[in-house]
Amino acid sequence: MLSLLTQSISNASFAIYFPKFVGSIYELLSAPVSYLEIIIAYVGGAATKSIILGLIILATASLFVPLTIEHPFWMLAFLVLTAVTFSLFGFIIGIWARSFEQLQLVPLLIITPLTFLGGSFYSIDMLPGVWRTVTLFNPVLYLVSGFRWSFYGKSDVSIGISLGMTVVFLLICIAIVAWIFRTGYRLRN
């Protein structure tokens, strides 16, 4: 899940940033292609690469560890939902970034701490009350919790809440991308 999350962000952010960097984004924006098609192409490509990587890691892990997936449909659903959501988030970062340093700023200073504080390596029940409450505002918690539930049938928050919060984060990313294309934020001079 962690590789899927980080690869989704980096694949999408670099894919849209590079055309901005070399100036070919203007050709893309003037082509007879709708904004929806542009988003589907960039986000779909990044999500597909990330899903393939996640499945390769899963297959490799099954060679070394006895692996059982209690809810395979939900595992695939969270896999695809996470890849698409964080590819959209990476797309936003790629449009926002003005330099390669800014391209790595958000994943390094925001996503990495959220990952470590999102219950990836521990149960949030181990945290004191205040920190447990703070952790509930972390979107990574819901992704990890839903993915953990699909494998082991155990999670820190219910599967409905995990799915709901993941969909909310997806909708927020969709709304931001729609605003970016409607306003031309950092796409046009």
Does a structural domain hold residue 188?
no
Decide if 43 is inside a domain: yes
Number of domains in the chain: 1
Amino acid at 56: I
pLDDT for 87 equals 96
In a domain, 189, yes or no: no
Tell which phi-psi region holds residue 157, choosing left (phi > 0), alpha (psi between -120 and 50) or beta.
beta
User: Is residue 61 in some structural domain?
Assistant: yes
pLDDT recorded at residue 101: 92
Q: What is the pLDDT along the chain (189 residues), one digit of tens a residue?
A: 888 999 999 999 999 999 989 988 888 888 899 899 999 999 999 999 999 999 999 999 999 999 889 999 999 999 999 999 999 999 999 999 999 999 999 889 998 889 888 888 888 989 888 988 889 999 899 999 999 999 999 999 999 999 999 999 999 999 999 999 889 898 876
Q: Is residue 130 part of a domain?
A: yes
pLDDT at 186: 86
Q: Residue 16's domain spans which residues?
A: 2-183
| Residue 24 forms part of a structural domain | yes
Question: 55: closest CA among 4, 8, 89?
Answer: 4
102 falls within a domain = yes
Domain-located, residue 135:
yes
Q: Angle of helix 159-183 relative to helix 35-64, nearest 10 degrees?
A: 140
Q: Measure Cα distances from 132 to 122, 123, 150 in Å.
A: 12, 10, 22
Q: Which amino acid is at 28?
A: L
| Buried residues in 144-155 as b, exposed as e (16+ CB within 10 A) | bbbbbbbbeeeb
